Amino acid sequence: MNEFFRTRMGHKFIEATVPRLVDEIGRLADHVAALNQSLGSRPDAREGVGPRARPRVLIVDDDEQILRGLVRALKQDHDVLLATSPAVALAMAEAHALDAVVTDHDLGDDEGRDGLWLLKQVRRRLPDARHILMSGGQPAIDAHLESGLVGRFLPKPVGAKDVLAVLRTKLCVKCGAEITEPQLLGDERCARCGDAT
């Protein structure tokens, strides 16, 4: 494969393909920016210092109607970023500090990239972000739930209140699991590791 790109035909392929890819990425970024603006989301540049006043959530779905419903519900308490494809979502994850990523499993990507692929990529860049997967089907995700790749699975149709409830759930500082209801003594303990937080 490397030899191909060193040939004259390989150079012509690169010269023909790269400008189209750059144009396509620019078009997608413009589309996402317009969508973010029209839905009232406020993407800010990644901050390097100090905490944000509101948690920042990236929502990824190829269905704009679902995005509209979620952004209406979440924008009161969260800074919401939107993406309609895995490529744009990954670019946004690299450009913004995120507290959570909520993604559909089936993203309609031409290259076969789905929500699990996206969460793997985001986890490498933002290991402390919450990872929430939505799906209208029943993907085989048990191993991904156990490994922590998927923090929560929400079956579609999912209501905005369900997503909001998951985002508001407190997590264990030690192991990242959801905290159970307060115990009799008034403390909160993690169901997985038993650590008091």
Question: What is the pLDDT at residue 10?
Answer: 60
Instruction: Give mean pLDDT, residues 175-187.
Output: 54
Nearest Cα neighbor of 153 from 138, 136, 180, 132 is: 132
Q: Which two tokens stand for residue 104?
A: 């559909």
Q: Are strands 100-104 and 56-60 parallel, antiparallel or unpaired?
A: parallel
0.85 cut: is pTM over it? no
Per-residue pLDDT band at 60 (split at 50, 70, 90)? very high
The alpha carbon of residue 195 and the mean position of all alpha carbons in its chain are separated, in whole angstroms, by: 28
Per-residue pLDDT band at 107 (split at 50, 70, 90)? confident
Instruction: Give mean pLDDT, residues 184-188.
Output: 50
Contact 106, 76 (CB under 8 A): no
Burial 61-92 (b: 16+ CB within 10 A, else e): beeeebbebbbebbbeebbbbbbbbbbbbbbb
Nearest Cα neighbor of 126 from 107, 152, 103, 149 is: 149
Beta strands in the chain (DSSP E): 56-60, 79-83, 100-104, 130-135, 152-155
3-state helix, strand, coil in the chain (%, to 5): 40, 15, 40
